[in-house]
Amino acid sequence: MDRALLHTAWRLADETMRPRAAEADRGDIHGPVADNIRALGEAGFFGLGIGPEYGGLGADEVTRHEFTEILASACGVTAFTQQQLQTGIKFVVEAANELLKRELLPVLAAGRLRCGIALSQLRRAGPPPLRAEQAPGGYRLNGVIPWITGWSLLDGFVLGAALDGGEHLFAYVDIARHRAALTASGPLPLSVMEASDTVEVEVRDLLIPEEAVLRRQPAEQLGRDERRGLTSHAALPLGCARASARYLRELAQRPGREALDGTAIALTLEIDQCRRAALTWNCECVGHPEYLTYALRARAGAIVLAMRAAHAAVVATGGRAHLKDALPGRLLREAQFYATAVQTPEVQASTLDQLISPFFGL
Ligand SMILES: Cc1cc2nc3c(=O)[nH]c(=O)nc-3n(C[C@H](O)[C@H](O)[C@H](O)COP(=O)(O)OP(=O)(O)OC[C@H]3O[C@@H](n4cnc5c(N)ncnc54)[C@H](O)[C@@H]3O)c2cc1C
């Protein structure tokens, strides 16, 4: 764990992000969210997952997990938006196209280029919303990208599309170069994360040159990769749960509210236990016969814990929890959002299992 890096992250979270989190939540992306993303870029945090040979920090998994939790405990919409940028970067890091990596990774690590991610269309059942076909010098794409976050801050994004014959294509799309082929909806009206500037994009005759292709792979590979990364997505809900526990601890300092300390301590112990499980059942254990059972339990456990912790914060607050800018209400909305972020059928089923009341059938 890189303590110096995390110290800087804590400082940014405490001094810059948490004090403006309510303003960030109710505004648009050009307010505190853009300021926070800029500050993270200047501090080099978009290089966390990039190796030093490409100008990045090459941080270990525990550091990256803790970094995400710190941000999610301070400002949910910033944490989620930057996480989508980190995911775009991860696809470039893992690409086979060395020339493109040498061009993009140093500027991404320095926070001077912002790359989003658009691949949820590949998880959709039925006819693919976005299709790619071979064309002279590259590929032609048509269809719809249902979700892409951070749109007006982005210079480019990693795009996944279905090819005929059961393959997926991943490519880097430079937005300025291809603007005529991309029609964005404008920020989607959302009950949570609205300031993330998440849009739907219509794609019409987008011509991707061969040089911008990151990789082609069999369609089944996405499911395998998402299984490997199951517990890496536990950090956002765990950070959200941590914010609720912190709020309850602060409430417990008030005269007559001391009993809330017990609730905060119990939740903190559960958060620590869930984090240990998430970090234990990481991608290195994927060959273990019980990997899927334990990784899904940790991932769904983090989702349900975030909701229970935020629920406790609401209950402990009373009616004022529902005032527009109240922290417990925002944490509950964020927890609810994390319940479907990067959702796969297995994560959905596992979360639903954990949500069934223990009193059912009694
Ligand atoms: C605010 C917001 C921002 C987002 N930003 C991004 C982004 O930047 N990039 C990005 O790639 N995605 C993004 N997403 C998408 C997100 O990560 C999830 O993919 C999405 O929330 C899951 O819902 P869906 O609409 O894609 O799933 P749907 O296609 O509506 O499917 C619902 C669920 O059913 C499951 N399912 C599908 N088929 C079957 C089946 N045959 N049997 C059983 N289960 C099935 C799906 O896996 C999914 O879990 C965003 C979503 C939101 C709400």
- Domain of residue 185, CATH code: 2.40.110.10
Q: Which amino acid is at 248?
A: L
Q: Are residues 141 and 125 in the same domain?
A: yes
Q: Which residues line ligand 1 (CB under 6 A)?
A: 84, 116-120, 123-125, 147-149, 190, 193, 196, 198, 340-345, 348
Residues 67, 235: Cα–Cα separation, whole Å: 9
- Please give the tally of structural domains in the chain: 3
Is 361 within the bounds of a domain? no
**Tokens 């048509």 -> residue:** 142
Q: Are residues 129 and 40 in the same domain?
A: no
Q: Are residues 119 and 93 in the same domain?
A: no
Q: Are residues 82 and 11 in the same domain?
A: yes
Ligand 1 pocket test, pick from 124, 159, 343, 344 with the greatest ligand atom count within 8 Å of Cβ, gives 343
Q: Are residues 341 and 324 in the same domain?
A: yes
Query: For the chain, how big is the Rg over CA atoms in Å?
Result: 21
Is 324 within the bounds of a domain? yes
Per-residue b/e over 298-316, b at no fewer than 16 CB within 10 Å?
A: bbbbbbbbbbebbbbbbeb
Q: Are residues 230 and 304 in the same domain?
A: yes
Among protein residues, the one whose CA lies closest to atom 7 of ligand 1: 148
Q: Are residues 28 and 75 in the same domain?
A: yes
We report the CATH number of the domain holding residue 264 as 1.20.140.10
Q: Are residues 344 and 238 in the same domain?
A: yes
48 and 63 Cβ atoms separated by less than 8 Å: yes
169 and 156 Cβ atoms separated by less than 8 Å: no
Q: Are residues 132 and 105 in the same domain?
A: no
We report the CATH number of the domain holding residue 23 as 1.10.540.10
CA of 160 to the centre of ligand 1 (A): 14
Structural domain containing residue 199: 115-218
Q: In sequence order, what are the residues at sequence separation of 6 or more whose Cβ sits closer than 8 angstroms to the Cβ of residue 262?
A: none
Q: What is the pTM of this model?
A: 0.96
Q: Are residues 127 and 82 in the same domain?
A: no
Other beta carbons less than 10 A from residue 112's beta carbon: 12
| Per-position pLDDT tens, the chain of length 362 | 899 999 999 999 999 999 999 999 999 999 999 999 999 999 999 999 999 999 999 999 999 999 999 999 999 999 999 999 999 999 999 999 999 999 999 999 999 999 999 999 999 989 999 999 999 999 999 999 999 999 999 999 999 999 999 999 999 999 999 999 999 999 999 999 999 999 999 999 999 999 999 999 999 999 999 999 999 999 999 999 999 999 999 999 999 999 999 999 999 999 999 999 999 999 888 889 999 999 999 999 999 999 999 999 999 999 999 999 999 999 999 999 999 999 999 999 999 999 996 666 55
